[in-house]
Homo-oligomer: A and B are copies of this chain.
Amino acid sequence: MLFPADAIARATHYLSLTSGGLGAYSDSRGLPGVRKEVAEFIERRDGYPSDPELIFLTDGASKGVMQILNCVIRGAGDGILVPVPQYPLYSATISLLGGSLVPYYLDESENWGLDVNNLRQSVAQARSQGISVRAMVIINPGNPTGQCLSEANLREILRFCYNEKLVLLGDEVYQQNIYQDERPFISSKKVLMDMGSPFSKEVQLVSFHTVSKGYWGECGQRGGYFEMTNFPPRVVEEIYKVASIALSPNVSAQIFMGLMVNPPKPGDISYDQFTRESKGILESLRRRANIMTDGFNSCKNVVCNFTEGAMYSFPQIRLPPGALQAAKQAGKVPDVFYCLKLLETTGISTVPGSGFGQKEGVFHLRTTILPAEEEMPEIMDSFKKFNDEFMTQYDNNFGYSRM
Q: Which residues of A contact B (CB under 8 A)?
A: 18, 21-26, 59-60, 62-63, 66, 70, 89, 92-93, 96, 217-222, 242, 245-253
| A249–B96 alpha-carbon span in the complex (Å) | 18
Please pick, from B23, B59, B93, B220, the residue contacting A218 in the complex, using a CB distance under 8 A. B23
A221 touches B245 (CB 8 A): no
> Closest chain B residue to A90 by CB distance?
B245
Please pick, from B21, B89, B220, the residue contacting A18 in the complex, using a CB distance under 8 A. B220
| A247–B62 alpha-carbon span in the complex (Å) | 8
With most chain B CB atoms within 10 A of its CB, the pick from A26, A66, A92, A220 is A220
Please pick, from B18, B219, B245, the residue contacting A23 in the complex, using a CB distance under 8 A. B219
User: What is the oligomeric copy number?
Assistant: 2
B59 touches A245 (CB 8 A): no
Assuming the contacts A66-B245, A96-B245, asked whether A217 and B250 have C-beta atoms less than 8 A apart, the reply is no
B70 touches A220 (CB 8 A): no
Assuming the contacts A242-B96, A245-B89, asked whether A24 and B220 have C-beta atoms less than 8 A apart, the reply is yes
User: Could you list some 16 contacts between A and B, CB below 8 A?
Assistant: A22-B220, A22-B221, A23-B217, A24-B220, A26-B220, A59-B222, A60-B247, A62-B245, A89-B245, A92-B245, A93-B245, A96-B245, A220-B252, A222-B247, A222-B249, A250-B250
> Closest chain B residue to A18 by CB distance?
B220
Closest 3 CB pairs of A and B: A220-B251, A222-B250, A62-B246
With most chain B CB atoms within 10 A of its CB, the pick from A89, A221, A242 is A221
B220 touches A23 (CB 8 A): yes
A222 touches B248 (CB 8 A): yes
B246 touches A66 (CB 8 A): yes
> Closest chain B residue to A242 by CB distance?
B96
Q: Which residues of B contact A242 (CB under 8 A)?
A: 96
Q: Which residues of B contact A70 (CB under 8 A)?
A: 96
| A59–B223 alpha-carbon span in the complex (Å) | 12
Q: Which residues of B contact A21 (CB under 8 A)?
A: 220
| A21–B219 alpha-carbon span in the complex (Å) | 10
B96 touches A25 (CB 8 A): no
> Closest chain B residue to A223 by CB distance?
B250
Q: Which residues of B contact A24 (CB under 8 A)?
A: 219-220
Query: Closest CB-CB distance, A139 to chain B, in whole Å?
Result: 16
| A92–B70 alpha-carbon span in the complex (Å) | 14
Q: Which residues of B contact A250 (CB under 8 A)?
A: 59-60, 220-222, 250, 252-253
If A62-B246, A96-B242 are given as contacts, then 11 extra A-B residue pairs at C-beta distance below 8 Å, sorted by A number, are A25-B219, A25-B220, A59-B246, A62-B247, A219-B248, A221-B250, A221-B251, A221-B252, A222-B248, A250-B250, A250-B252
| A222–B222 alpha-carbon span in the complex (Å) | 11
With most chain B CB atoms within 10 A of its CB, the pick from A70, A89, A217, A246 is A246
| A96–B246 alpha-carbon span in the complex (Å) | 12
| A21–B21 alpha-carbon span in the complex (Å) | 22
| A220–B22 alpha-carbon span in the complex (Å) | 6
Query: Closest CB-CB distance, A80 to chain B, in whole Å?
Result: 15
Query: Closest CB-CB distance, A67 to chain B, in whole Å?
Result: 10
Query: Closest CB-CB distance, A30 to chain B, in whole Å?
Result: 11
A220 touches B245 (CB 8 A): no
| A70–B97 alpha-carbon span in the complex (Å) | 9
Q: Which residues of B contact A221 (CB under 8 A)?
A: 22-23, 250-252
| A22–B211 alpha-carbon span in the complex (Å) | 13
Query: Closest CB-CB distance, A73 to chain B, in whole Å?
Result: 11
| A247–B96 alpha-carbon span in the complex (Å) | 15
Q: Which residues of B contact A252 (CB under 8 A)?
A: 220-221, 250, 252
> Closest chain B residue to A20 by CB distance?
B220
